[in-house]
């Protein structure tokens, strides 16, 4: 599937999503918000894929919001922020939040600028593999705003509160190595796409049901009470035990010389 501003290609059960406004450094306009929302929803329903990679075309991953484009009409801002219920994600938040709901590992492969809205998109992923020349900023404070695109959900999980406050209050730009040191990214290398593919190959050796279940378990309970975590892990384990992929996983360990292919994952 191809869109003017975002492309989606699926090959070998891996979905490759590319932000594709290189002439604007992949800055987010309304079309891009809608395309990311649509594609991420589509991928959530796809039971054949085993991983998602999101990258940017051109010099930067995403330089942030295309302010002139989005704010030239007040109705655009209203469409981004509108929601039926306070706890539901609006369009602005879904470009980050939707990646959390896809039941396979989601990788952001980042180079160049990852600022503002780009950082919010990246925070929605499970892993952030970045090039050594990339830079990062939670830049909303520069415009007198707070980050409101859903990235705060992940920010509270990956960095300490004082680090989060510093990044948000100052809107400072930090390097890839600084981002790695504070836990904002997963890996820094000269070839982040290759590094991501190597980890995907490792994960794909495991049952897709187990991978989907552990992602959902951690997303839903990471900051909840002990009771909630214990209850959920037991519930998901029972669901897995009654699925065929768990039996296939056992056979793959006991008879590694034979071919054992996993089935489509359950609907998680």
pLDDT digits (tens, 9 = 90+) for 28-42: 999 999 999 999 999
Query: Count of alpha carbons within 13 Å of 186, Cβ hemisphere only?
Result: 18
| Confidence at 66, pLDDT banded by 50, 70, 90 | confident
pLDDT at residue 180 greater than cutoff 80 = yes
Average pLDDT, the chain: 94
CA distances from 93 to 1, 82, 96, 97, 149 (A): 23, 10, 6, 6, 4
Both 211 and 177 in one domain: the answer is: no
| 268 within some domain | no
Q: Is the pLDDT of residue 167 over 70?
A: yes
Residue 2 has pLDDT above 60, yes or no: no
Q: Structurally, how many domains does the chain consist of?
A: 2
Residues 219-233 have a mean pLDDT of: 95
Q: Which of 13-27, 59-73, 84-98 has the highest mean pLDDT?
A: 13-27
Angle, nearest 10°, between helix axes 208-221 and 244-254?
A: 120
Lowest mean pLDDT among 9-18, 72-81, 135-144, 163-172: 72-81
Residues 225 and 171 in one domain: no
Exposed / middle / buried, residue 47 (Cβ in 10 Å: 0-12, 13-18, 19+): middle
Mean pLDDT of 209-215: 98
Question: Does some domain include residue 259?
Answer: no
113 contact partners, CB below 8 Å, separation of at least 6: 25, 59, 60, 61, 62, 63, 64, 134, 135
Given this model, what pLDDT does residue 84 score? Answer: 72
Q: Verify that 74 and 92 share a domain, yes or no.
A: yes
**Bigger pLDDT: 70 or 164?**
164
Q: 227 in a domain, yes or no?
A: yes
Clarify whether residues 128 and 240 are in a common domain. Answer: no
Claim to verify: residue 214 and residue 195 sit in the same structural domain: no
Start-to-end C-alpha separation, the chain:
24
Q: Do 130 and 234 have their domain in common?
A: no
Most confident of 63-77, 87-101, 138-152, 179-193: 179-193
33/102 same-domain check: yes
Does residue 96 share a domain with residue 19? Answer: yes
pLDDT at residue 74, as a whole number: 62
Instruction: Say if 263 falls within a structural domain.
Output: no
216 and 189 in a common domain? no
Across 56-70, 119-133, 222-236, least confident range: 56-70
Neighbour tally for 167: CB within 10 Å: 23
| Residues 239, 145 share a domain | no
φ/ψ region of 116 (left if φ > 0, alpha if ψ in -120 to 50, else beta) reads left
Identify whether 56 is part of a domain.
Answer: yes
Please report whether residue 267 resides in a domain: no
Judge if 196 and 213 occupy the same domain. Answer: no
Question: Are the C-beta atoms of 90 and 54 separated by less than 8 Å?
Answer: no
Residue 109 pairs in a beta bridge with 129
The stretch 246-254 carries a mean pLDDT of 96
Res 143: pLDDT: 87
Contacts of 85 by beta carbon, 8 Å cutoff, 6+ apart = none
- pLDDT for residue 250 is more than 60: yes
Q: Is the pLDDT reported for residue 247 higher than 60? A: yes
Domain of 92, in residue numbers = 6-202
Is pLDDT of 244 > 70? Answer: yes
pLDDT at position 261 is 96
Closest CA to 152 of 175, 120, 184: 120
Which CATH number fits the domain that encloses residue 247?
1.10.12
């Amino acid at each position: 599937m191809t869109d003017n501003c975002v492309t989606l290609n699926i090959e070998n059960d891996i979905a490759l999503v590319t932000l594709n406004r290189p002439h604007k450094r992949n800055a987010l306009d309304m079309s891009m918000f809608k395309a990311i929302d649509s594609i991420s929803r589509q991928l959530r329903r796809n039971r054949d894929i085993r991983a998602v990679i999101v990258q940017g075309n051109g010099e930067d991953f995403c330089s942030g919001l295309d302010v002139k484009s989005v704010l030239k009409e007040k109705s655009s801002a209203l469409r981004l922020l509108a929601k039926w219920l306070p706890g539901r994600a609006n369009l602005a938040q879904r470009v980050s939040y939707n990646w959390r709901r896809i039941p396979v590992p989601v990788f952001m492969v980042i180079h160049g600028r990852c600022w503002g809205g780009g950082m919010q998109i990246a925070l929605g992923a499970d892993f952030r593999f970045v090039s050594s020349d990339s830079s990062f900023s939670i830049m909303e404070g520069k415009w007198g705003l707070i980050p409101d695109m859903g990235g705060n959900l992940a920010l509270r999980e990956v960095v300490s509160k004082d680090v989060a406050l510093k990044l948000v209050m100052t809107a400072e730009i930090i390097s890839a190595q600084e981002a790695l040191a504070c836990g904002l990214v997963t890996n820094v290398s000269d070839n982040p796409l290759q590094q991501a593919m190597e980890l995907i190959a490792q994960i794909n050796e495991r049952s897709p049901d187990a991978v989907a279940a552990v992602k959902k378990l951690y997303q839903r309970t990471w900051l909840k009470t002990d009771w909630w975590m214990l209850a959920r892990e037991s519930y998901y384990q029972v669901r897995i035990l009654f699925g065929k992929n768990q039996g296939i996983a056992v056979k793959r360990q006991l008879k590694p010389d034979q071919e054992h292919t996993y089935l489509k994952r359950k609907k998680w």
